[in-house]
């Protein structure tokens, strides 16, 4: 089963991708996490991506596609995967087709911009394993510490208010039209984001017929 998760930054699709991935026994692949990891490790990909990410802009397609191809070639991807944050524009959706990747379902997480702006300021990310939390909606058991790897939690630089607004503008302009691409293919499902992670998961399972 191959799925893509669409939605504005901060809509919670990363958290839901991890939850659904566990239920289906397939990995959730976040291109944002791959790029941030590359920056942390000081790789060539990371060096190329950093300025775009810091400015809230999309990283050029060739860089992201190369990183994603490497990840999709790993053995745990054989039974399928959830792509979280890819595709981000129509060209990337077409690239998946050209690569022979047949997407079974596209799931779009729907949430109003003003709610997103508030949510993003509360987001915290583990510097160790990349897991995401929210100080209100999905807090770690111990403040500032990752439940999974005990790494330190911090706010991403691109979750700063001005960058968040830029990322939302980019989302509406170039990412949102992808919904039409998958709607035409007859595989688009909409999940209205609820208050709280569990309620949203339940809605997602309902929409996907998994309850
Ligand atoms: P995310 O964690 O998915 O919000 O991604 C963080 C940042 O990484 C984005 O604001 C982009 O700069 C970059 N990024 C992640 N995925 C992609 C993609 N598919 N195409 C281009 N840039 C991406």
Active site residue 36: no
Active site residue 50: no
* Ligand 1 pocket, residue 5 CB under 6 Å: no
Active site residue 98: no
Question: How far from 76 is each of 29, 37, 79, 81, 105, CA to CA, in Å?
Answer: 11, 19, 7, 9, 19
pLDDT class for 118, splitting at 50, 70, 90?
A: confident
* pLDDT over threshold 90, residue 161: no
For ligand 1, the distance from its centroid to the CA atom of residue 62, given in whole angstroms, is 13
Query: For position 4, what pLDDT does the model report?
Result: 98
Catalytic residue among 36, 71, 119, 123: 123
Percent of residues, the chain, with pLDDT higher than 70: 100
* pLDDT over threshold 90, residue 141: yes
Catalytic residue among 36, 88, 119, 124: 88
The pLDDT of 133-147, averaged and rounded, is 93
Burial (CB count within 10 angstroms: exposed 0-12, middle 13-18, buried 19+), residue 44: exposed
**For 53-109, what is the HEC assignment?**
HHHCCCCCHHHHHHHHHHHHCCHHHCCCEEEECCCCCHHHHHHHHHCCCCCCEEEEE
Mean predicted lDDT score pLDDT of the chain: 94
Pocket test for ligand 1, best of 59, 83, 91, 124 (most atoms within 8 A of CB): 59
pLDDT class for 202, splitting at 50, 70, 90?
A: very high
Pocket test for ligand 1, best of 58, 106, 172 (most atoms within 8 A of CB): 58
Q: Burial letters for 15-32: b for 16+ Cβ neighbours within 10 Å, e otherwise?
A: bbbbbbbeebebbbbbbb
Query: For position 5, what pLDDT does the model report?
Result: 98
Active site residue 118: no
């Amino acid at each position: 089963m191959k799925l893509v998760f669409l939605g504005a930054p901060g809509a919670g699709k990363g958290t839901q991708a991890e939850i659904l991935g566990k239920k289906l026994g397939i990995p959730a692949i976040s291109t944002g996490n791959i790029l941030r990891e590359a920056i942390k490790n000081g790789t060539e990909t990371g060096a190329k991506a950093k300025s775009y990410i810091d400015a809230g802009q999309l990283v050029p397609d060739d860089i992201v596609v190369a990183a994603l191809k490497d990840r999709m070639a790993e053995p745990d991807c054989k039974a399928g995967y959830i792509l979280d944050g890819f595709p981000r524009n129509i060209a990337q959706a077409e690239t998946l087709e050209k690569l022979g990747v047949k997407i079974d379902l596209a799931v779009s997480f729907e949430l109003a911009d003003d709610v997103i702006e508030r949510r993003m300021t509360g987001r915290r990310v583990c510097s160790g394993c990349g897991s995401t939390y929210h100080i209100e909606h999905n807090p770690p058991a111990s403040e500032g510490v990752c439940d999974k790897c005990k790494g330190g939690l911090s706010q991403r630089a691109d979750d700063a208010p001005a960058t968040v607004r830029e990322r939302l503008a980019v989302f509406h302009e170039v990412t949102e039209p992808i919904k039409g691409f998958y709607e035409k293919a007859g595989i688009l499902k909409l999940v209205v984001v609820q208050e709280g992670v569990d309620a949203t998961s339940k809605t997602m399972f309902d929409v996907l017929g998994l309850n």
